[in-house]
Amino acid sequence: MTDYDWFSDQAIEVAVDGLEKEAEKWHGLAARMREVSQGAQGQSLQATAFVVTDALTGVVTAMDLKAGYDKMYEWLNSLFAQAGVEFDNMGAALTKNAKWYANADANVAQNFDAIASS
């Protein structure tokens, strides 16, 4: 029984095709997250949305609730924006790996030549 030929043309093609499909998926997810991020930017609430009808504590409660809401709103919006960037980075990394696999035979030969000549 022989070892599996990891650098065969068939193995390389499968790896490249799979990585390229996965990269497309991540770029698509990045585009969707950019849409979510843009949509969420306009979802802010005014302090009046948190007003409680109690005359004595209503103003204080509304301001506390608004401050908590704003903090969460800003945090989520930063995550949405960051997700688009990170998902694109993942797609780019997968594309880079696909290109490396496509040239795997050449890379192995170069590595072997470097070892042999040292």
Lowest mean pLDDT among 1-10, 13-22, 39-48, 105-114: 105-114
Handedness of CA 91, 95, 97, 101 (dihedral sign): positive
Q: Residue 32 in contact with residue 68, Cβ under 8 Å? A: no
Mean pLDDT, to the nearest integer, of 71-100?
A: 94
Share of the chain above pLDDT 90, in %: 43
Mean pLDDT, to the nearest integer, of 43-66?
A: 80
Going by pLDDT thresholds of 50, 70 and 90, the confidence category of residue 30 is very high
